[in-house]
Amino acid sequence: MMRMTALLALPFFSIAIASPLHSTDREPGASDVSTGLRSFYERFDADHGNLKRFYNVPLSGNDHKRRLAFYQEQHRALEKLDFDRLSREGRVDYLLLRNELKHIQKQAAREAELDVEVLPLMPFWRPIVDQLEAHRRLDPVDGKTVASRLESVEEQIDAAHTALEGSLNAARKRWDKDKADRAVRRLKELSGGLSRWFRFYNGYNPIFSWWVKRPLGRVREALDKYAKLISDKVVHHAPGKPKDPDRLVGKSVGAEALALALEREMISYTPAELVEIARREFAWCDREMAKASRALGFGDDWRKAQDHVKTLHVKPGEQAKLIKTLALEAEEFLETRKLLTIPPLCKETWRMQMMPASRQRVNPYFTGGEVISISFPTDEMAHKDKLMSMRGNNIHFARATVHHELIPGHHLQGFMTARYRPYRRRFRTPFWTEGWALYWEMRLWDLDFPKSPEDRIGMLFWRKHRCARIIFSLAFHLGTMKAEEAVDFLVERVGHERRNATAEVRRSIEGGYSPLYQAAYMLGALQLRALQRKLVGGGKMSDRQFHDAVLRQNSIPIEMLRAALDEDVKLTRDYVVGWQFAKDGASR
């Protein structure tokens, strides 16, 4: 009992003990790193998880208020820490969580505002939410009373359905597709909540089932029909066009959401400035592409040179062998030059699988991590799709991406983040994840990894693609470029096969990625290169020390990675983001 009492008396945060930043030539165990504010993070994540699972009623103002109160409580607890007593690592942890709490609160407020805006499309929402909240409180339930309420709700849904059906043109003018799509999602969530509520009582309370089963079924059917009406006639409405399963349908988030995302990622540039950075990098790629094209005898016609490279693919069935060869080649290149530490188990345990044709509609190229998924034609593809897949996954394009997906890229990243500072996973960011993988494409270019003009064209194709991603993704989310225009842009400016360009755009806009994800590749790489040039180029660290240190900080915004590794950066409680990395990270 005394031991338990002593444990309970410990504070739920611990002050980090200062430790050397650059002692990374050896390979310490995961426990050798300072804990920072790990206990604070772990308690926050656990509490946050409980709250999200409990307060999960869609459109509930009470739930929003409770979560907001929790975030404010955590913010106050963080501010009570003595910042000056924290080690450098502890200060980085502090600033990471402070930034995250600010972002979560702003994001929650924005989500609540957007929900309020679409409530007129769901005039029947209140009694459903009230019922779900009553169930969470475990209020006594009377089947007959509930049945009467459900009957009234059904009538309200039917009335809303009839009203919308009779004024679709006006509705399309009033409700943009993003807002209408939000309403569809909320309607489905309400229907799902009612289903779970009914399952709780069904069979355990026979009288409840007797009264409620039929009226609830009718309410859910009405909700589903109403959601389908909004989806078909407002969200996906395309006058004069048949419904096309291959049609590109995406969600543009707008300027406000982009600004919020940039703030969370600690990027101190505007979207317009980021596009200019992309155009500058594009110009470098164009110059290098022209050199490679001339070396192959195609003059300045880079498209002909790239088309030639696309023909240099293996035969069907031989891609897996190629990938293995390229993976081992990259590992040997890195280790021979002592560029970073590769744990033996990491080299031993990556796996390979073939990507099904259905997934290649969204991922026309490899994806990676512990398992590298290989895009190459399957026998079920149309003939033209087979040809485009082989051309897009040719030997020299693949040589530039296998190391991106495996080692030193995503597989090594995943291996290390599971072992070093895993409590920081809450802050994971594509600027670190994808930025690191592209940084290595740049670093290997500088170290003469490409052996031939064909290799250089393969690497330049991908670097041009990352420039294009910044331009088209930001333009799409700002509403200045349509999805179809983005496809044309990738085909004309980068040289994609049209099937592959369409899949890339679909992947970018259909909602599975954050709005800055596509921009994060190039921007994160430029941040890392700027940091490497200062710390390694300035003689403060070796390449291996720098790269090992980056991996052992886990996935955090690069601004905070810089704060952790560069002791010239002054860390204060009121630290303000302002790193202008573009010039120092620029291609030369």
pLDDT in tens, 165-202: 999 999 999 998 889 999 999 999 999 999 999 999 99
Q: What percent of the chain has pLDDT over 90?
A: 79
Torsions phi, psi for 349 (to 5 deg): -115, 15
pLDDT at 376 over 90: no
pLDDT in tens, 528-538: 999 999 999 99
- Mention every residue, 6+ apart, whose C-beta is less than 8 A from residue 535: 541, 546, 565, 566
188 vs 160, 174, 183, 184, 237, CA distance in Å? 16, 21, 9, 6, 19
* Max intra-chain CA distance, the chain: 84
Higher-confidence position of 360 and 569: 569
pLDDT in tens, 118-168: 999 999 999 999 999 999 999 999 999 999 999 999 999 999 999 999 999
pLDDT value for 389: 84
AA letter at 529 = R
3-state secondary structure of 524: helix
Q: What's the whole-number mean pLDDT along residues 474-487?
A: 94
Q: How far apart are CA 442 and CA 436, in angstroms?
A: 10
Q: What's the whole-number mean pLDDT along residues 270-298?
A: 97
Pairing outcome for strands 371-374 and 351-354: parallel
Return the closest-CA partner of residue 194 out of 146, 137, 152: 146
pLDDT value for 384: 84
Among 184-193, 223-232, 239-248, 568-577, the least confident range = 239-248
Q: What percent of the chain has pLDDT over 70?
A: 92
Q: How far apart are CA 410 and CA 373, in angstroms?
A: 12
pLDDT value for 500: 85
| Chain center to CA of 394 | 27
DSSP codes of every residue in 90-140: HHHHHHHHHHHHHHHHHHHHHHHHHHHHHGGG-TTHHHHHHHHHHHHTT--
- Could you give the count of Cα atoms lying within 13 Å of 259 in the half-sphere of its Cβ? 5
DSSP codes of every residue in 331-353: HHHHHHTT-S---HHHHHS-EEE
Higher-confidence position of 248 and 345: 345
pLDDT at 467 over 70: yes
pLDDT in tens, 234-279: 988 655 454 555 678 778 889 999 999 999 999 999 999 999 999 9
Q: How far apart are CA 100 and CA 265, in angstroms?
A: 9
pLDDT value for 562: 99
pLDDT at 546 over 90: yes
pLDDT at 526 over 60: yes
pLDDT at 1 over 70: no
Among 294-308, 370-384, 480-494, the least confident range = 370-384
pLDDT value for 29: 36
pLDDT value for 244: 59
H or E element, residue 486: helix 483-489
| Chain center to CA of 408 | 20
pLDDT value for 35: 54
Among 105-109, 332-336, 429-433, 494-498, the least confident range = 494-498
Q: Are 429 and 519 in contact (CB under 8 A)?
A: no
pLDDT at 5 over 70: no
Q: What's the whole-number mean pLDDT along residues 282-291?
A: 98
407 vs 26, 144, 351, 549, CA distance in Å? 19, 63, 12, 16
Torsions phi, psi for 367 (to 5 deg): -125, 155
Please provide the average confidence, as pLDDT, over all residues in the chain: 90
DSSP single-letter state for residue 373: E
